[in-house]
Amino acid sequence: MKKTLAMALSFILILSISGCSDSKSRSKGVYMLLDTSGTYARELKKAQSILNYLLGVLQPGDTLAVARIDTGSFSEKDIVAKITFDERPSYANNQKRMFQQKVNSFISTVKSSQYTDISGGILQAIEYLNEQRSGQKYILIFSDLKQELAKGYKRDIPFQLQAFNVIALNVTKLRADNIDPKKYQSRVTKWRAEVESGGGSWSIINDLENLDQIFFN
Amino acid sequence: MPLANMLSITSNTFLSMMIWIVLLLAALYFARKPFHRAVSSLSRIIHNAMRMTAASVRLAEKKLIQRNREVLMAAGRESAERLVEREFDRINAAVVRDLEGYPNLQRQLSELTTRLDEDYSRSADVPPDLPNWIPIIESIANIKHSGDSMVANMLGEINRTLTEQHKGSIDNYRGSNAARHSILNKMLPAWRKVQKTLNDVGKSIGNLNQRAKSIDRYMDEYEQIRQQTDKAARMLSSSSLTQFFISGLVLMIAFGGALINFNLIALPMSEMVGGASYIGPYKTSDVAGLVIILIELTMGLFLMESLRITRLFPIIGSMDDKMRLRMIWITFTLLAVLAGVESALAFMRDRIAQDMEALRQTLAGVEQAAVATSMIPTVGQMIMGFILPFALAFVAIPLESFVSSSRTVLGIFAAVALRLLAFILRLIGNLGYYTGRLVINLYDLIIFPSIWLEGVITGSKGKRQEPAKEPLFEDGGITEEAVENFNDTVEYKEPQE
């Protein structure tokens, strides 16, 4: 009898422990990079709808961060807003409202940057999401994927993207791409190769009607 | 060297082929008996093994049927005992109730009888007769007088007195009669009361008679069950199946109720225990909601046990009444508290749902629609949250029926499955057996020229030498009619004439 009781208690204990430790591994961590360089800054209005979608689908316990891509993006200063939602749904709803306001005010006041440091942004995203210990990690790159580094900036570090999903959103075609589509293709292929060589998975969503594919994998 | 060259014994292909065929037929002929024996042994092994297994399965089925019958009878006996016990309880209650009032009834009847007796006696009082001297005076009054005025006056006075006496007597008589009638009138309600009291007694006796008849009927059934008659077994089996399906249906309905209950409390539970933690693959809030429902079910189960409606836990039923009453109050209070909690959670759920909807509208950039301020959905959810735990408490009743009847029903299904298995095994055995026969026949068909030749040779040598009969399919311990028939079929092939 005592043995059975002990077994039952240990089972409950194991379940409780696994339950507590499980909460992080099941949570989602999303880091969204917003390209604010040059003409792409005009596209930022579209980023609002993506963000609203993310706020709608993310659950209590999930993490969301929005950062800008500018001349030097490997910096905490470029993080516009970040939050880990409270476990209580009502608190999480209020946090989402505040987050939305914060990002909206950023988008309405943002000034375009001269250079585009996408790699720095990705490195910052990797660091942030690893620190958050999210179970599923997503890096969303809202950009045309054309990287332009300022003089002296070095970004030849390989990405460590194991268990990361990198999704490029709204990858617009530049004028040069229209003239020579190979440029667009080579640009996308380059990023795909870099991500996949780092152990991450790569995908592109250009049609913003298909945002539900972000968490499809 | 190619195979074609190896096979070419002569330069003539046809001749070579014929030689090979003859050689092959000869070889097959000489291998015939060993082949027959091998095939027959194999088919017999399959046949006997399958039939032995089938026999074993049938034995298991018989044992299972016997066990089912015992279980059924035990359940039936218990049920009949409960029915008889309940009827005795009712009779006991009726007798106690009636006997409790019996002294009062007796006193009432006695008082009424005394009163009636007194009244009757009083009504029987006759009015007093006329005084005895009346006839004397009457005879004096009738004396003829001679005209003497004094006598005449005297007689006149006597006559007047007499007349007055008569009148007085008649008045007295009438008065007396009126008084007697009045007494008799007053007796009427007393008689009615007596009649009513006796009717009540008669009704009680009739009720007891009815109960006694019910007990007789139950006792008959009990007797049949005790004697384990087929009729009782059929009756109990049918009753058990009906109970199984009906209680299963009710349990399914209850499951639906529990599901709705779960949906009412799962979301607000995330507000209490957090919406991001998991136990295994399940959300902690979902598990917590489920646990609350299961606790409610358990409380309902204990409440029903304490009320002696169900008998799933004999230890609760056998508690003394004081303890049982305590248990009833404790379980009922816990159930009421949980119902209150659920009601509050349902209210919270409504608020969270409204908040989420508002957030969705904000995120979608839609102008927030004017929210209907009706409290009806909220109140409806709260009422449902409060009522469902109590409704779920009654699940104990169909659950008990389901558990008790499922033993029998599962036993019946298992017996059917065993019978089917035995049939399949026998079928496989027979198939194996007849396949052996078929193979032997096909073999003989292929080498029929050799067999024909054998017949010719043995025929020319005379029919004196009867070939030794070696039955290939002799009857075994388990093999049945089919085997014997098969032996006959095979044996006639041996001496091909």
CB contact under 8 A, A90 and B359: no
Tokens found for residue B494:
């041996």
Task: Please give the ipTM for the structure prediction.
Answer: 0.75
The pLDDT value given to residue B373: 66
B277 and B384 share a domain? yes
B54 and B82 share a domain? no
B83 and B55 share a domain? no
Nearest to A140 by CA among A55, A49, A67, A216: A67
Whether residue B407 is contained in a domain is answered as: no
CATH of A28-213, one of 3.30.300.30, 3.40.50.410, 3.30.565.10, 3.40.50.2300: 3.40.50.410
Write out the DSSP string of B47-87.
Answer: HHHHHHHHHHHHHHHHHHHHHHHHHHHHHHHHHHHHHHHHH
With the CA atoms of B352, B357, B363 and B369 taken in that order, what torsion angle do they form, in degrees rounded to the nearest 10? -130
Q: Comparing B424 with A158, which gets the higher pLDDT?
A: B424
* Inter-chain contacts counted by CB atoms under 8 A, chains A and B: 73
Nearest by CB to A96, which of B270, B359, B365? B359
DSSP E strands in B315-423: the ranges are none
> Is the minimum CB–CB distance between A21 and chain B shorter than 8 Å?
no
Cβ atoms of A21 and A95 within 8 Å: the answer is: no
The pLDDT value given to residue B496: 40
**How distant is the Cα of A154 from the closest Cα of chain B, in angstroms?**
39
Nearest by CB to B278, which of A19, A92, A97? A19
CB contact under 8 A, A19 and B279: yes
Q: Give chain B's domain count.
A: 3
> Is the minimum CB–CB distance between A88 and chain B shorter than 8 Å?
yes
Nearest by CB to B271, which of A26, A62, A88? A88
What is the mean predicted confidence (pLDDT) over A161-183?
Answer: 88
Q: Which are the contacts of B436, defined by CB distance < 8 A and separation ≥ 6?
A: B39, B40, B42, B43, B44, B46, B47
pLDDT-based confidence at residue A23 (cuts at 50, 70, 90)? low
Which residue in the block uniquely carries the two structure tokens 């306001």?
Answer: A101
CB contact under 8 A, B276 and A60: yes
Nearest by CB to B284, which of A19, A89, A90? A19
> Is the minimum CB–CB distance between A28 and chain B shorter than 8 Å?
no
- pLDDT, tens digit only, all 497 positions of chain B: 566 666 677 778 888 888 888 889 899 999 999 999 999 999 999 999 999 999 999 999 999 988 888 888 888 888 788 778 887 888 788 777 777 777 777 888 888 888 888 777 777 666 566 566 667 766 776 767 666 777 778 777 877 887 888 888 888 888 888 887 887 787 788 788 888 888 888 887 888 788 788 888 888 877 887 777 777 777 787 788 888 999 999 999 999 999 999 988 988 998 888 878 888 888 889 999 999 999 999 999 999 999 988 888 888 888 888 999 999 999 999 999 999 999 999 999 888 888 888 888 888 777 666 555 678 888 998 999 999 999 999 999 999 999 988 888 888 899 999 999 999 999 999 999 999 999 999 999 998 888 888 888 888 766 555 555 555 555 444 444 444 444 444 444 444 43
CA-CA distance, B301 to A72, in Å (whole number)?
67
CA-CA distance, B384 to B291, in Å (whole number)?
18
Contacts of A88 in chain B (CB under 8 A): 270-271, 274-275
> What's the length of chain B?
497
B147 and B205 share a domain? yes
B202 and B127 share a domain? yes
Contacts of B352 in chain A (CB under 8 A): 89-90
Cβ atoms of A101 and A66 within 8 Å: the answer is: no
Cα-flanking dihedrals φ and ψ of residue B365, to 5°? 75, 20
CB contact under 8 A, B275 and A23: no
Residue A173 CA, chain-centre distance (Å), reads 22
CB contact under 8 A, A61 and B277: yes
CA-CA distance, A15 to B279, in Å (whole number)?
6
CA-CA distance, A163 to B205, in Å (whole number)?
86
Nearest by CB to A60, which of B275, B279, B355? B275
Whether residue B235 is contained in a domain is answered as: no
Share the mean pLDDT of chain A: 84
> Is the minimum CB–CB distance between A59 and chain B shorter than 8 Å?
yes
First to last CA, chain B: 44
Identify the contact set of chain B against chain A, taking CB-CB distances under 8 A. 267, 270-271, 274-280, 284, 351-352, 355-356, 359-360, 362-365
**How distant is the Cα of B287 from the closest Cα of chain A, in angstroms?**
11
Domain that holds residue B369: 247-394
Distances (CA, A) of B166 to A115, B126, B133, B135, B143: 152, 16, 13, 12, 19
CB contact under 8 A, B360 and A56: yes
Tokens found for residue A191:
């990023």
SS3 of residue B281 by DSSP: coil
Cβ atoms of A85 and A57 within 8 Å: the answer is: no
Question: Letter for the amino acid at B341?
Answer: V
Q: Where are the domains of chain A?
A: 28-213
CB contact under 8 A, A23 and B280: no
Tokens found for residue B315:
């230890």
CB contact under 8 A, A87 and B274: yes
**pLDDT over 70 (residue A217):** no
CB contact under 8 A, A97 and B359: yes
Cα-flanking dihedrals φ and ψ of residue B50, to 5°? -65, -40
CB contact under 8 A, B363 and A15: no
CA-CA distance, B215 to B217, in Å (whole number)?
5
CB contact under 8 A, B363 and A18: no
B49 and B87 share a domain? no
The pLDDT value given to residue B491: 42
Nearest by CB to A15, which of B276, B280, B356? B280
CA-CA distance, A65 to A76, in Å (whole number)?
11
The pLDDT value given to residue B493: 42
> Is the minimum CB–CB distance between A75 and chain B shorter than 8 Å?
no
The pLDDT value given to residue B367: 67
For B360, nearest residue in chain A (alpha carbons): A56
CB contact under 8 A, B277 and A87: yes
Q: Which are the contacts of A23, defined by CB distance < 8 A and separation ≥ 6?
A: A61, A87, B274, B276, B277, B278
pLDDT-based confidence at residue A201 (cuts at 50, 70, 90)? very high
Best of A15, A16, A24, A211 to mutate (most B CBs within 10 Å, chain B): A15
Whether residue B183 is contained in a domain is answered as: yes
Cβ atoms of A135 and A24 within 8 Å: the answer is: yes
The pLDDT value given to residue A11: 52
B363 and B486 share a domain? no
DSSP E strands in B262-416: the ranges are 278-279, 282-283
The pLDDT value given to residue B475: 45
Of B168, B191, B226, the residue that ends a domain is B226
The pLDDT value given to residue A156: 83
> Is the minimum CB–CB distance between A56 and chain B shorter than 8 Å?
yes
Tokens found for residue B120:
């009757």
B383 and B478 share a domain? no
CB contact under 8 A, B270 and A100: no
Contacts of B284 in chain A (CB under 8 A): 19
Of B197, B226, B255, the residue that ends a domain is B226
Best of B359, B360, B361 to mutate (most A CBs within 10 Å, chain A): B359
Q: Comparing A23 with B381, which gets the higher pLDDT?
A: B381
> Is the minimum CB–CB distance between A133 and chain B shorter than 8 Å?
no
B278 and B323 share a domain? yes
Best of A11, A18, A23 to mutate (most B CBs within 10 Å, chain B): A23
CA-CA distance, B193 to B112, in Å (whole number)?
8
